[in-house]
């Protein structure tokens, strides 16, 4: 039976560390061809820039070929075909499926019917495990470790799939979390209960200034308009947080600012050239991490 990456829980702590080590190897030598002859489908039912292109670049760097589509408009789903039927058919053509879908749980459905490994490239407001692995890669590069870090996550805790996956993954490394959000966008109860059961320390605040000076990682997120069914709710919270250079006056020297991107206006561009900004380098590591995930799931490394 194929191993999938639908949730970050599909990888053990040891597998996560293996992926990060393998990504570092690929960063040193990214021109590989051991997947020559393989075909990988990148099925993006929802718009994407970084995730789709970094996956396609990863596939090409490994010597495989890519087929797929960048959105849902030209697929048979517009004719009423079910996701299950789409995945069953495409499984006949390829060696792996990478899928992004706007509906939470869609990746589980795909994995349940696919005859090849499935990688979840984001399913609604649920999970984004490959984003989390590249986040961990960036954290380890900047801090030299994953253990015992103080991580402040800011913005959309409710709908932020990158946040949900990262909280689960970092919980294996004894973190201290701060969740900075308005009341309308607090972390879902199931994640708080998980942290309570695991004895992970956390606090919930509403102002960035309340915890910025103590953190090792400041993980900013945008308020995602596409996740809101109520436009008024979005308008109420969309500009709640904006990080400016003046707010960094007393932060720790090792503190780094991360963001799953795209940003809207939650990080002022004046921060881009500071020593604390790491979001562009963070995204740059995504190709190497995805090379590692693909090769691992296909049994090559």
State yes or no: is 231 an active-site residue.
Answer: no
Greatest CA span in the chain, whole angstroms? 56
Alpha-carbon distances of 3 from 6, 25, 112, 297, rounded to whole Å? 10, 22, 11, 6
Q: Does residue 202 contact residue 177 with C-beta atoms inside 8 Å?
A: yes
How many residues does the structure list for the chain?
Answer: 301
Q: What's the sign of the alpha-carbon dihedral 76, 82, 85, 87?
A: positive
- The Cα–Cα gap between 31 and 60 comes to 9
State yes or no: is 164 an active-site residue.
Answer: no
Catalytic residue among 51, 130, 180, 221: 51
Catalytic residue among 28, 73, 78, 79: 79
- Please give the span between the terminal C-alpha atoms of the chain, in angstroms, as a whole number: 18
Nearest of 86, 76, 230, 71 to residue 158 by alpha carbon:
230
Catalytic residue among 52, 101, 128, 256: 128
Strand residue runs (E) in the chain: 39-44, 65-69, 96-101, 118-123, 150-154, 176-180, 201-205, 217-220, 256-258
State yes or no: is 227 an active-site residue.
Answer: no
State yes or no: is 101 an active-site residue.
Answer: no
Phi (first) and psi of residue 202, to 5 degrees: -155, 160
Catalytic residue among 50, 88, 141, 263: 50
Is residue 98 reached through a cis peptide bond, with omega within 30 degrees of 0 on the bond before it? no
State yes or no: is 73 an active-site residue.
Answer: no
Catalytic residue among 100, 222, 290, 301: 100
- Residues identified as active-site: 50-51, 79, 100, 128
């Amino acid at each position: 039976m194929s191993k999938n990456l639908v949730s970050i829980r599909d990888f053990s702590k040891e597998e996560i560390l293996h992926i990060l080590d393998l990504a570092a190897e690929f960063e040193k030598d990214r021109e590989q061809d051991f997947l020559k002859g393989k075909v990988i489908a990148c099925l993006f039912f929802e718009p994407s820039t970084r995730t789709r292109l970094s996956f396609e670049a990863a596939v090409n760097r490994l010597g495989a070929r890519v087929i797929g589509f960048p959105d849902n408009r030209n697929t048979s789903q517009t004719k009423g075909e079910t996701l299950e039927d789409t995945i069953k058919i495409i499984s006949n053509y390829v060696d792996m499926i990478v899928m992004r879908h706007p509906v939470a749980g869609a990746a589980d459905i795909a994995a349940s019917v696919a005859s090849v490994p499935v990688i979840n490239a984001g399913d609604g407001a649920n999970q984004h495990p490959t984003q989390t692995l590249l986040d961990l890669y960036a954290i380890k590069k900047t801090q030299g470790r994953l253990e015992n870090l103080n991580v402040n996550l800011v913005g959309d805790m409710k709908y932020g799939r990158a946040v949900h996956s990262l909280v689960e993954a970092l919980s294996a490394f004894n973190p201290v979390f701060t969740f900075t959000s308005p009341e309308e966008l607090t972390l879902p109860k199931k994640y708080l209960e998980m942290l309570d059961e695991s004895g992970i320390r956390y606090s919930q605040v509403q102002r960035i200034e309340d915890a910025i000076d103590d953190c090792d990682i400041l993980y900013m997120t945008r308020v995602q308009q596409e996740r809101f069914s109520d436009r008024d709710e979005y308008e109420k919270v969309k500009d709640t947080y904006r990080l400016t250079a003046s707010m960094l006056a007393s932060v720790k020297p090792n503190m780094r600012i991360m963001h799953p991107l795209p940003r809207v206006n939650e990080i002022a561009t004046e921060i881009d050239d500071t020593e604390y900004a790491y979001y562009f380098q963070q995204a740059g590591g995504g190709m190497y991490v995805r090379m590692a995930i693909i090769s691992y799931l296909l049994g090559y490394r």
